[in-house]
Structure 1
Amino acid sequence: MVQVLWQRRKFYGYVRIAKRIRKLLKCRLSNRTIWKVMRELGIQSTMYRKRSKKPTTTTDMPQKPNLMRHLADLSEVVTTDITYIQLINQNWVYLATAYDPKARKVLAWQVGQQMTQDLAVAPIQALIHQGYTFKMVHSDMGSQYTSRLFETTLTDAHLRHSYSRKGKPADNGRIEAY
């Protein structure tokens, strides 16, 4: 029966053939059983599932140092990240946050319609204007955080910049998890 169904519709795989046999014979039959039978008969579907590629990081920027990696005391470190949020009306907005990893709280945030370098800089500038004391900012290697505007803002405020490794969000895990 498996071979007959397969010859009629060669694009059917074991799942579809099993479903069709269950419907025709009104019996219990597992997909795995049909898979084994098809393998023994040397037949398979002519259709293949389209496999999507895993997204990769594509940046020409060389890896920059992860200064926060070896710190025991995170009291003067601020981590920053941008995430997106879907609104009720199906639109998307971007949320840039500055986060204190030691106190585990958001210190400043900014919402924007687009993910820009200005959006990335806004929470850091807010902390500077509030007089919040910190010596280092840790971020990912996103284009907003490697931009000239972001780097200049940190340099002007005498702040060091630490970066997560490319494609390793766990390096900035505390802000990614909040």
Structure 2
Amino acid sequence: MKFFFDLFPVFLFFVAFKAYDIFVATAVAIAATIAQIGWLRFRQHQIDKMMWVNLAIIVVFGGATLISQDETFIKWKPTVLYWLMATVLYMSNQFFRKNLIQAVLEKQVVLPSFIWDKLNLSWVGFFLLMGGLNLYVAFSFPVDSWVTFKLFGSTGLMLIFIILQVMMLGKYIKEASTELIDTQSGNEQHDSTEKISK
């Protein structure tokens, strides 16, 4: 559900572009992002830091697009966001020993520390690649193709990447589950032995 909620401004951007043009679509995307955060505040939900960052970037680059009437700025917006996320993930892990991917997923998934590091690096690589791919599509194809890629291409690649990660991590998740079951069984046997001895 959150995934589709996050796509709300992008979807409206796509619809507005098809109905009008890139400048109307940019204004709609800015308004939708502001409305998105306003709705979360109204509902008293926690707002992710990246949502605030995304808002700042869309306001700056979208605003520059509207003021200058130059679509170049809005085309750069996804790349700036992707590369910023890659930088944050890499710097946090390398210099502050804070694996942000682990911090988000560790309650749902148990993995060895070296796998968490690989997972973090894989997301860094993915965001770097996506940033470069966005620039390639934005400046090598018509704006209509870029807008379509922004909604369907980027979303599709993200889903494929997540599915591949789940498949690759399946082995470690099973191993971790087996170890957890063995540990619990061992503790239960130990408790039973203590009760018998008493």
TM class by shorter chain equals under 0.3
The structure with more helix, counted as a fraction of residues: 2
TM-score when normalising by structure 2:
0.22
